Structure 1
């Protein structure tokens, strides 16, 4: 037990120092502040009050020491820390609580909980959404800018106007349904968002679910997540398969691909080679534009796209046909850039670069993404490969996750053959009379 001293003066307290390497605890008195002491640990000083409640003896910290000697009352109020007089005032207040049977430490916990509840009541959905987006910046650093922008855009358009100002803990199922069932304009007139734009609506729902889930982890919410679909909203919303409209990207008839490739291969430029590579690999535009040389293994004839750049967030391995390898071997490397198909200044091509090639070729009714549909239709009509092989080639997720995982490990040899056959087909000009003419040296 530290030695009890008579009431010390402010100057005496200011002169207290540590006793060599040992920490000190010096009682400063007077009697009505019994237990008030200064902790001296190394070069730091802080105030604490020792008290006994029942059979418990406890110390409660009051804060750092600041002598404030020579300061006026107004100046003292502006300075951090507590002077001797200020510590005695606080000690007397806490001793009165102890006399009333209130534990100061437990009361602090109650006060902190009350403050947290008040914070919850004042925190809006929009504030939590903005904080969530901020917290994801590191994870989304490798995502394309369009994905990040869509998050903010859909929240601004569909969510904030309806529930943005609601307290985060108050958002319930009715509020989520209000967002999903809000009217949007269509060619046929106003329709609920869930029916008119089901894909967009489901993404909005998923984003609300993640924001509310994040708030729950931070203890800003206590109720179950009202935006979850399975076992909850699916009981009151139309089934997605019945309302979802699949909007196909404008695609070229696979019978025309050979003639198109002849024309494309006559065009110079990195963008033309990028489009040709996208067609040969049946890859998405963003995957090709972001391709780097360290993803390419010409020896193994494989292109491994990391999961961070894939739509499904899973690594995707693309077999490279003879034509794809020849294209890569003939592609010059730009000094200072690791991109396979870089923009003129070395960065990644913009999302309109490949589309611009089609526009210059006069193919205004065709999209870059549409060539994936061209490939898929060719597989279905002209080959005997199972659906699963084509789906893996396109990096689509199969409904059965166990099946998908197994086939991802076993189907690569089949996909190697498939991509070789596709390259061969792309190197032939199919006549509408059903005669097929091979393009020498193009495969």
Structure 2
């Protein structure tokens, strides 16, 4: 008994497990806590299987995942590691002989969430992923073992929201499917994924997708509206003017920093991590844009359009609320991108690829884009100059 207790001792403590920084931290006897840069924590054990060799003839040494530290505590990790070492010492491969408890749907979902956090574009996406499961799946199947979930359980989650919140339901289905796919890969399930079965059986009603339109101000009305904005000194008004001139998205404009602006080259470069498509976007700065920016630079802020809180950008609702106060509540800020696109086609006669590039839209197939490497900057500069003259006349 004393020997068994000693075997479960190690270098790590509960506090260290919770607070250690990124890296691989050894507990001893092949057990490690791995902390990712994102903060996700998981256990692995390294064992050498007696009498078995790898393809190069060396002793077979293998790492095995024991689960996330939020699901498997330190003592449980040590017990599992001890089990794996005993099997390996006996010549048994743990992958085929380990007795593992089947996790619940919620336990595995949270582990999948932690494992994928580093791959998401920003923390908000990660939060949305797990929150969808938390709100619509965990109350119904969260405590069920993943090997007990079939089509009836999937339908129990999807049916209440399938028509009322169809986009949410589709995302929910995809996330349930991902968790169950991981469960199968980990050896906890067999057979077809029940989400696939539900889709193929078409047991849920067909929902006609309603296209989402951003109400756009007619381009012929923009000059008068722009002139009205010019009479206002609020930062929100200047940000909206700049948004209209650049045809950029709200988040791109509000996140704009002076470090992204090259005044000499008359260029604003939006980094890839702030772009919807994940690709860097260069925006040519026209005379009218520069006229708007110059007084703001003198304020010495980090963000071009700083909000009421120091070192923080303007609220993402500020421009929309301004539209409503000005009696244009039927329009949206995003709609000005459509306004620009209509003007580019109807009035400017701009080539399709130039107008789409101005909106940072990807055009053509992946192969076509690989050959068309230019972002048509100078042609876009000419188009944006014409747009600025048209609306700020």
Give the TM-score range, shorter chain. 0.5 to 0.7
Match of 1:106 among 90, 93, 97: 90
Match of 1:274 among 239, 244, 251: 239
Kept after mapping to 1: 8 A contact 2:181/2:193: no
Kept after mapping to 2: 8 A contact 1:274/1:354: yes
- Which residue of 1 is the match for residue 282 of structure 2? 317
Kept after mapping to 1: 8 A contact 2:117/2:123: no
**Distance in 2 (alpha carbons) for counterparts of 1:207 and 1:300:** 45
- Which residue of 1 is the match for residue 326 of structure 2? 361
- Which residue of 2 is the match for residue 260 of structure 1? 225
What are the Cα deviations for residues 318-347 of structure 1, in whole angstroms up to 9, with x where unaligned? 222221122222213554x42111113221
- Aligned positions of 1:81-230 closer than 5 A: 105-106=89-90, 109-110=93-94, 113-115=97-99, 117-118=100-101, 121=102, 123-137=103-117, 143=122, 145=124, 147-168=125-146, 179-180=157-158, 182-184=159-161, 192-193=162-163, 197-208=165-176, 210-212=178-180, 219=186, 226=193
**Distance in 2 (alpha carbons) for counterparts of 1:399 and 1:222:** 40
- Which residue of 2 is the match for residue 338 of structure 1? 302
Please state how far the C-alpha of 1:369 moved relative to its aligned partner.
Answer: 1.1
**CA distance 1:252–1:111, change in 2 (3 Å):** closer
Q: How many residues align?
A: 308
Please state how far the C-alpha of 1:263 moved relative to its aligned partner.
Answer: 0.5
- Which residue of 2 is the match for residue 71 of structure 1? none
Kept after mapping to 1: 8 A contact 2:151/2:195: no
Unaligned runs of 5+ in 2: 1-49, 52-58, 60-85
What root-mean-square deviation, in Å, do the aligned CA atoms of Structure 1 and Structure 2 show?
Answer: 3.7
What are the Cα deviations for residues 342-393 of structure 1, in whole angstroms up to 9, with x where unaligned? 1132212222122122122222111111111211222222232233332222
Kept after mapping to 2: 8 A contact 1:215/1:221: yes
What are the Cα deviations for residues 379-411 of structure 1, in whole angstroms up to 9, with x where unaligned? 222232233332222223335222234445253
Please state how far the C-alpha of 1:282 moved relative to its aligned partner.
Answer: 0.8
Which 10-residue stretch deviates more, 196-205 or 303-312? Answer: 196-205
Q: Could you say what secondary structure the match of 1:331 adopts?
A: helix
What are the Cα deviations for residues 273-315 of structure 1, in whole angstroms up to 9, with x where unaligned? 1111111111111111111112122222222211211122222
TM normalised by structure 1 equals 0.59
Unaligned runs of 5+ in 1: 1-51, 59-101, 185-191, 428-438
- Which residue of 2 is the match for residue 9 of structure 1? none
**Distance in 2 (alpha carbons) for counterparts of 1:127 and 1:204:** 17
**CA distance 1:373–1:104, change in 2 (3 Å):** closer
**Distance in 2 (alpha carbons) for counterparts of 1:398 and 1:171:** 42
**Distance in 1 (alpha carbons) for counterparts of 2:109 and 2:254:** 31
**Distance in 1 (alpha carbons) for counterparts of 2:248 and 2:115:** 31
- Which residue of 1 is the match for residue 391 of structure 2? 426
**Distance in 2 (alpha carbons) for counterparts of 1:407 and 1:137:** 33
Please state how far the C-alpha of 1:177 moved relative to its aligned partner.
Answer: 6.4
TM normalised by structure 2 equals 0.65
Q: Could you say what secondary structure the match of 1:303 adopts?
A: strand
What are the Cα deviations for residues 24-54 of structure 1, in whole angstroms up to 9, with x where unaligned? xxxxxxxxxxxxxxxxxxxxxxxxxxxx99x
Kept after mapping to 1: 8 A contact 2:146/2:183: yes
**Distance in 1 (alpha carbons) for counterparts of 2:149 and 2:316:** 37
Please state how far the C-alpha of 1:173 moved relative to its aligned partner.
Answer: 7.0
Q: Could you say what secondary structure the match of 1:318 adopts?
A: strand
Q: Could you say what secondary structure the match of 1:304 adopts?
A: strand
Q: Could you say what secondary structure the match of 1:409 adopts?
A: coil
Match of 1:387 among 342, 347, 352: 352
Kept after mapping to 2: 8 A contact 1:281/1:318: yes
